[in-house]
Chains A and B, each alone.
Chain A
């Protein structure tokens, strides 16, 4: 076998798009090494450190009341923010892809704006609005409404940071699909809402789900922006990522990594669902 590989006549008939086996092997090794170093090892170390004191310690760290309160706040925040951004994504994509109007490019740029802002700056923006020296802070505080350092601020800043995720997924998809089916449904006498729920929405359901997954993962994992506005009150304004930081800063490393595994599992679940959706989309060829 190896004799024939080395035979001088072989290169003439080789696939012109293939590299010599040695080069190919070297490239694979280099790429896998890079990915192992930067993706696999960081993921692995979280689970190893979380379990270094055994499963009992692991379970205790997760079941601890402050950890449970943090998990609950994280779930509540996502339950509030993801539907809001889902509605926004649908409305923005419908307006941008189905109608022509002036300032459309500006609108699309604005939808992307939160991506170009550091999470810390995003948090600062809401301190400038609702802080004691902020634009609305004094007026609201005088009426007993507290937004900063409580859950409304956490929800607002999370909504800001994750705002583009659903819209970004829907806009190119709806642009590519066009609106023939919607037009047909209306011509056949469907009411606007019926057309929307029976035709327009099912057409984009997988893309929508993809966006919702991304939005949810980011909403539950957001750290910098929430850190600015939360106030870090244990059991009340502490989200899971913030709880990881507190434990880590208190040198409770095993507990910090144990809580971190919950967030890592959320990330892995999101990736698995994404891979499944990708596979589905590719098999169906688009929609």
Chain B
């Protein structure tokens, strides 16, 4: 490894030069523009733009729905990963390949498809309407869209860990008298937890920023079913660049803070597991 330092391989200057110019033009410059624009606003004006009831409601919905959807995906993702890895049943390989659908299906298509399913006359919406449950045009609709969009993350992070587990681990637990349930809770779950938490964090990150799949099903009622990215879009359409910038900068900072906090938590978890 040490010998590789600027080692005999060529192309360091070219590769790094191209990478840095590309990153600089496409990533650093745009972020600098956002920062500059946000700094042009006085703190009082910034606060005024961000603290309106409509903006706060959008933030609450975006963060609440992203966290809830990621939690749903954590549980269902563990179940799906387990069933796909451990059991054999007809259609298993097809379902396994389809798990990545939310990555491959354009979000606008997902949005209109979910709306067609869940609005009051849709296949599923008509089914739950007699129970008094409305999905389209309610916060529940936002949740459904974010569950769809975040579905692959936990499944795909947990699957390889599950595949790589030593059979001896569970056999030892069983021979020492642990029931299947105890073996799962005390032996398997701690092994799966770090990967599951990684998937959870990725699902939150994706859910926070999601736009296309949400806006069709949400109905976009101000202060009720309006997510933060949509509010940024509305401000832009009103030519309110200052408002859009202030909301975007706050949303970006809050998202990074939340992801950092969740990462810190899962890192602590991992260390505790390692120490035990």
Contacts and interface: CB of A to CB of B under 8 A. Distances in A.
B47 interface: no
Given A31-B83, A45-B117, A88-B19, A244 B109 contact: yes
B105 A221 contact: yes
Q: How large is the interface on B (under 10, 10 to 19, 20 to 34, 35 or more residues)?
A: 35 or more
Given A31-B79, A91-B18, A116-B205, A45 B105 contact: no
Identify the interface centre among A17, A114, A275: most chain B CB within 10 Å of its CB: A17
Given A118-B211, A124-B248, A221 B28 contact: no
A195 B9 CA distance: 10
Interface string B83-121: 110010101000101111111111111101110110000
A49 B12 contact: no
B28 A110 contact: yes
Contact of A264 (B109, B209, B212, B251): B109
B225 interface: no
Contact of B95 (A35, A113, A121, A217): A35
A91 B7 CA distance: 17
Interface in B1-60: 4-12, 14-16, 18-20, 22-23, 26-31, 33-34, 36-37
A98 B9 contact: yes
- The secondary structure that dominates the B interface is helix
B154 interface: no
A128 B112 contact: no
Nearest to A133: B241
B27 A110 contact: yes
Interface string B221-258: 00000001110110010000100110010011001100
B136 to A, nearest CB: 13
A139 interface: no
Contacts of A186: 8-10
Interface residues of A, number: 99
Given A127-B236, A241-B107, A266-B106, 4 more contacts: A19-B180, A31-B83, A95-B19, A114-B27
25 contacts: A19-B180, A28-B87, A31-B76, A34-B76, A39-B95, A40-B98, A43-B101, A91-B22, A98-B7, A98-B11, A99-B6, A107-B23, A110-B28, A118-B255, A120-B211, A124-B245, A128-B30, A160-B27, A192-B10, A223-B212, A244-B109, A260-B113, A266-B104, A271-B100, A274-B104
Interface of B: 4-12, 14-16, 18-20, 22-23, 26-31, 33-34, 36-37, 76, 79-80, 82-84, 87, 89, 91, 95, 97-110, 112-114, 116-117, 122-124, 147-148, 151, 167, 170-171, 173-175, 180, 205, 208-212, 216, 228-230, 232-233, 236, 241, 244-245, 248, 251-252, 255-256, 259
